[in-house]
């Protein structure tokens, strides 16, 4: 057998667990100022006070969740008097699901599954915190998913105003918004009490992505498994999407592709093949956070290549009763988040017609809408 071939029980992975998406990196590079802001905001909780609420925002895959979890981990080594709950709002997307998750963390048992109102469960949580003199920090990760049904406002309102109804309770919120354009808006009832420390997670620069990917390669693979040109190719792909998750997924998939060929190193071809699946990871995740109306608009544009705004509205209202202004607001949002491109043509009744196109391949968008 050639010496660049793997024996059947050999592997190129030194530690595959570091390529899993729930792996929390020990070394968390290029996020010092964000980690400092989080520590500053949560420090009061460690001293038995109400924490400063935070709004963490930035594009997908820029380390928001991991940064919060790093700080939670750190706090847990110092004290057990702060109850830290992280909620994945994509999975727990109603206020009942969220409060159940908090209940489970505090009481270590499932809440009664039926017949109990949100208010009742919430009250049990609050009374327990007061009785045990504990501070609670609730991290609502990807709170975008709670916006559609109006759940975000209700939950935020309950947590942030709990002390008015139950004096002495100490609760705080870290809201994580995965969005490029700050496209969230809370109800005025909430914004009047939610005056958060805003912590921005901008996209990583090319060099920063390079550092993070190199460090992950060192942990994940044996030396020389990933040649320099392959590393660069992966960094370029991450740079295209801005999502580090794509890079980590690419490392895993291209490593598996190399092993499939029984090769001791990853080739550029292994990465290109892996990218076919990894690139959809990014798009699928983003599209899944859109509302049904937004997905419908994307689907119609995808099916029509390019389309005039008026025609798109007509198709849309075939199954929908949204007014033109609301409809066009959605088109604008999709444009701001770079799904759509809107340009003007010279024709049309008033001289200028808006032409709408997709910024992604139509097939990819349709695949991702289907889930
Ligand atoms: N500075 C960093 N150093 C090492 N790994 C990082 C860093 N930033 C992000 N990662 C890795 O990138 C992946 C995505 O990070 P994370 O889930 O924290 O992003 P996010 O901003 O919360 O994404 P989303 O908004 O989509 O939920 C994780 O696997 C994480 O380990």
Q: Where residue 49 falls among pLDDT bands split at 50, 70, 90?
A: very high
The whole-number average pLDDT for the span 13-32 is 95
CA dihedral 279, 92, 180, 201 (to 10 degrees): -100
Query: What's the gap in Å between 214 CA and the centre of ligand 1?
Result: 15
Higher pLDDT, 137 or 349: 137
Question: Ligand 1 pocket: which residues have CB below 6 Å?
Answer: 21, 23, 25, 28-31, 60-66, 142, 178, 201, 212, 244-245, 248
For position 60, what pLDDT does the model report? 83
For position 183, what pLDDT does the model report? 52
Q: Where residue 278 falls among pLDDT bands split at 50, 70, 90?
A: confident
Highest mean pLDDT among 26-40, 90-104, 143-157, 336-350: 26-40
For position 351, what pLDDT does the model report? 57
Residue nearest ligand 1's atom 26 by CA: 60
The whole-number average pLDDT for the span 295-320 is 90
For residues 350 and 294, is the Cβ–Cβ distance under 8 A? no
For residues 148 and 182, is the Cβ–Cβ distance under 8 A? no
Ligand 1 test: best mutation among 20, 24, 27, 65, most atoms within 8 Å of CB?
65
Query: What's the gap in Å between 307 CA and the centre of ligand 1?
Result: 36
Residue nearest ligand 1's atom 4 by CA: 28
> 3-state DSSP helix/strand/coil percent for the chain, to nearest 5?
55, 15, 35
Condensed to tens digits (0 to 9), the pLDDT of residues 250-263 reads 999 999 999 999 99
Q: Where residue 148 falls among pLDDT bands split at 50, 70, 90?
A: low
What residue ranges define each of the domains in the chain, with the CATH number in brackets?
A: 16-20+209-287 (1.10.8.60), 32-200 (3.40.50.300), 291-370 (1.10.10.10)
Tell whether residue 66 is among the known ligand binding residues: yes
- Please report the ipTM that was assigned to this predicted complex: 0.98
């Amino acid at each position: 057998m050639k010496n660049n071939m793997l024996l059947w029980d050999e592997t190129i992975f030194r530690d595959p667990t570091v390529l899993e998406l729930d792996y929390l990196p020990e070394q968390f590079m290029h996020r010092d100022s964000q980690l400092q802001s989080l520590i500053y905001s949560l420090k009061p909780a460690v001293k038995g006070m109400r924490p400063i609420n935070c709004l963490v925002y930035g594009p997908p895959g820029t380390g928001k969740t991991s940064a919060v979890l790093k700080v939670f981990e750190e706090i847990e080594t110092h004290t057990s008097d702060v109850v830290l709950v992280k909620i994945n709002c994509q999975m727990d997307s109603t206020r009942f699901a969220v409060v159940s998750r908090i209940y489970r963390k505090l009481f270590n048992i499932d809440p009664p599954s039926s017949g109990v109102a949100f208010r009742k469960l919430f009250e049990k949580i609050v009374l327990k915190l007061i009785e045990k003199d504990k501070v609670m920090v609730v991290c609502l990760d990807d709170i975008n998913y709670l916006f559609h049904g109006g759940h975000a406002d209700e939950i935020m309102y309950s947590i942030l105003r709990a002390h008015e109804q139950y004096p002495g309770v100490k609760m705080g919120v870290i809201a994580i918004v995965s969005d490029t354009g700050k496209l969230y808006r809370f109800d005025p009832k909430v914004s009047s009490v939610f005056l958060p420390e805003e912590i921005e997670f901008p996209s990583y620069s090319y060099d920063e992505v390079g550092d993070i990917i190199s460090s992950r390669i060192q942990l994940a693979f044996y030396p020389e498994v990933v040649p320099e040109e392959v590393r660069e190719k992966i960094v370029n792909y991450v740079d295209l999407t801005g999502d580090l998750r794509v890079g980590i997924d690419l490392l895993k998939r291209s490593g598996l592709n190399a092993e499939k060929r029984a090769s001791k190193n990853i080739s550029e071809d292994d990465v290109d093949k892996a990218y076919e699946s990894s690139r959809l990871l990014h798009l699928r995740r983003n599209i899944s956070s859109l509302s049904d109306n937004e997905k419908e608009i994307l689907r119609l544009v995808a099916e029509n290549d390019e389309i005039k705004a008026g025609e798109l509205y007509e198709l849309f209202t075939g199954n929908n009763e949204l007014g033109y202004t609301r409809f066009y607001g959605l088109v604008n949002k999709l444009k701001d988040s770079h799904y759509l491109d809107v340009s003007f043509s010279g024709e049309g009744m008033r001289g200028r017609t808006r032409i709408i196109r997709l910024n992604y391949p139509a097939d990819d968008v349709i695949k991702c809408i289907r889930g």
